[in-house]
Structure formats: C-alpha cells, structure tokens
Structure 1
Amino acid sequence: MFLYFAYGSNMSRRQMTERCPDHECLGVAVLKDHALCFPRHSPIRNCGVAGLAETPGAEVWGVIYRLHDEDLAALDRREGYDPAKSADVNRYNRHTVRVLMNSDMVECLTYFARPEPGEHVPSVEYLATILEGAAENGLPADYVARLRFFTP
C-alpha cells in the first residue's frame, strides 16, 4: 500500500475508479511552494496536461488516495512513467512529496510532468475533469476559482 497525491484529472472519482478500482480516498491536502501548470502536450488527450512547477509561496491542492501496489504499475503506464528509463524520456516522472493534510505532513507519491517547449492549453473536457474532481472533493473555493482561469 502507498499514498498518492492527485492534483489533476486523477482527482475525479470517476477517473480514479476506472484506473484504480480499489482506491481509498483519504481527503484533501495541499502541496506548498508549487504551482499548477500545463507544461506538456498529451498525445492521448490531445491537449495540454497538468504538471507541477516549484514556485515559492504558491499552493497546489489535491487529493490523497491510499492505493495498492498493483495500482502503481497502472498509474505509471497511464502517466507515461517507466522507472527503467531516464527522466528525460518519460512523459511524467514519479517523486515523493510532503503535503499538508489537516495539520499533518504526509509523504505521498506524485507525478511531475516533463516540460516540453511551447504553450500547452488544456481542453475543455480535460479541465472539466479536473474541476469535477476539485468540486467532488471539496477543494477550497478560491482555489477552484483559480482553476477556472485555465479555461481555454
């Protein structure tokens, strides 16, 4: 078992049920000193997809899930991460982050998108999935309002 911090479309309960059917949602958490960005184009979704950028003073809200070990391989495949490959080839790279949940610091795995040159805009459908997950999980209203800023 491991903890996973989802900050993009994987906040959606529907999407996580499809990808990791036995997941357990533990609640909302915040990653400090990072900002949400859309640093790369997804060949699967054909739009810009979410990533994290180290940004002092910024916050990224998301959801912590408890997942089974077999879920890790499924997420790795979906996120385009192969631990046997170098970081400059993977679409996303998996890292451990410390997030604040209630008043506790919690270590979780999450994925950082490998940036690509150019501007990458999320599609209406992709952003709707992120907003769906944010609403379902009760992320702070001011953060959800900022997410709407990314509307194409």
Structure 2
Amino acid sequence: MTTIQDIDPDFVDWIIKTARTRIMSNDKSVYYFAYGSNLSTTQMKQRCPSSRLVGLAILRNYTFIINGRGYANVVQNGTDDVANDAGVYGVVYKISPEDEASLDRCEGVPYAYTKEYMTVDFMKLNCSEAHPSFFIPHAASNESEDGRTIDDRIIFKGDRVLVYIDRERTCPGPPNAEYVDRMSRGVEEASARLGLPEAYVTGTIGRWIPGLKIPTAFAAAAEDLSSSAS
C-alpha cells in the first residue's frame, strides 16, 4: 500500500505551498471524470477544445455498466441486478465553463445524465494541468471497502470531480452499435497514453461490450508472451 513516505516530497511541497493559487486567480475550471467514450482524448478535444488531460483515476465503490439506453453509466455498489466491482477507472480532464456547457449538451443533461461531484483516487498525474488545490494531500489506500485491492499505483485523492451519472436507468442493457466503436477508441487511447489496466478493459468494460476491440498494446503483449512460451 502506498504511504505518504513513498511520495516525492517535492511534489507534496508543491501542492501545499501553492494550494491557494486557484482561489486567488478566480479559476472557474472544473475537473471532469470520463469513464465512457470520453476516455478518448481525441473525442474530448473535438467536444471540448480547451480541455486538458490531468490523469488516470478510479472512482471507488461504483461499478461500470452499459445501461438500458445503450451507453455507459456508473452505479453505486449494492444496486440490484449488478455484480459489484471495486471501482471504475476513468480519465480526468480539466475543463473550462465553455467546455462544460458543450459537454452538458453532448451528454444530454439533464435527461440522459445528471451532474454530481465526487472524490476519485489518482494513479497518474500530469502535474502541469493538475491544480494543487484540487488534491487532498495524503496517500490513499489501495483497497476497497470490502478489502479488495484496486491498484497499487494510487497516489492522491482528487476532491470535487464532476461525474455524469444516470441515477434513473441503472439496469444493464446491450450497447448501441455506434457506441462500440467509440468505446473501442477510448480504451485504445487511454491504455496507450495512461496505462488503463488490461484486466479492467477485458474483464469489466469487455463484459458489457462484447464487440469491444482489444487495445493494440494488449494484443502485442499477448503475442510476445505466446512467442516466448513456444
């Protein structure tokens, strides 16, 4: 488990010393957790041109599903008809008010999704875009509430992250055909750029999207392993 002693002290010092900057600069940007097709940084740039990549994170005690509309959703653990996972991986972006308004339209707020603010745990950070006042300066446990290990790369908690969630449609359903390709691009880009775990892609997202294309990096690694074994 990561402890505060394991974290670069210069990084901790940077966070503590500059935590007031965002308040003083009147920064209106927010941090957004993408767990569906916006895992694709390409799609995010098309939808939200000024968005900035922050890092890979996990939303604890929620489970990824494809809901009855045929699109990604997260449901709180304990929901009927859904087997619980330890958490949902996603990509966090820093977005401007203009980007947020554009994203609201793309996500169909308030009919398809509503907006909530949650806490996430980070595995990887782009410190040039991750504002220090956003972080809770202590190490996060890498276990879920029921004791299952999530990821040993967790380094910091991020507070007040925007999550689009559908609290009404929490029953699983098949994915829309056009969504399969967009999700395939999302996991390809998030895996290559941020290390989205193979087990999560194949075991969680792949469980809900049977036609999901396996990221190139995973396929190449499997081929190398097969070649070395033969």
TM superposition score normalised by structure 1: 0.82
Q: Determine helix, strand or coil for the equivalent of 2:91.
A: strand
CA distance, structure 1, for counterparts of residue 93 and residue 86 of structure 2? 22
Pairwise mapping of residues 17-56 of structure 1 onto structure 2 (< 5 A)?
Answer: 17-41=45-69, 48-55=70-77
Task: Provide the secondary structure at the position in 2 that maps to 1:115.
Answer: coil
Question: Is contact 1:5–1:62 with CA below 8 Å preserved after alignment?
Answer: yes
Question: 1:148 Cα shift?
Answer: 2.3
- Number of corresponding residues: 139
Structure 1 equivalent of residue 187 of structure 2: 131
**CA–CA distance in 2 between the matches of 1:70 and 1:144?**
31
Choose between structure 1 and 2: higher strand proportion: 1
Identity of aligned residues (%): 31
1:3-152 correspondence to structure 2 within 5 Å: 3-41=31-69, 48-55=70-77, 58-82=86-110, 90-101=111-122, 102-106=154-158, 107-113=160-166, 114-115=168-169, 119-123=173-177, 124-135=180-191, 136-146=193-203, 147-149=205-207, 150-152=209-211
Between Structure 1 and Structure 2, which shows a larger proportion of helix residues?
2
Q: What's the TM-score once normalised by structure 2's chain length?
A: 0.56
Partner amino acid, structure 2, of 1:9: S
What is aligned with 1:86? none
Considering only CA atoms, is the larger Rg found in Structure 1 or Structure 2? 2
Classify the secondary structure of the residue corresponding to 1:16: helix
RMSD: 1.9
> Which residue number corresponds to residue 85 of structure 1?
none
Give the superposition deviation at 1:131: 2.0
**Aligned residue type for 1:120:** P
Over 3 Å counting, the alpha-carbon distance change for 1:141 and 1:118 in structure 2 is: closer
Task: Find the aligned partners of 1:61 and 1:91 in 2 and give their Cα distance.
Answer: 21
Task: Classify 1:25/1:71 alpha carbon distance in 2 versus 1 (closer, same or farther; 3 Å).
Answer: same
- Could you say which structure has the greater relative contact order, defined with CA pairs below 8 angstroms and 6 or more residues apart? 1
Read off the aligned partner of 1:110 and give its amino acid letter.
V
- Three-state SS of the structure 1 residue aligned to 2:169 is coil
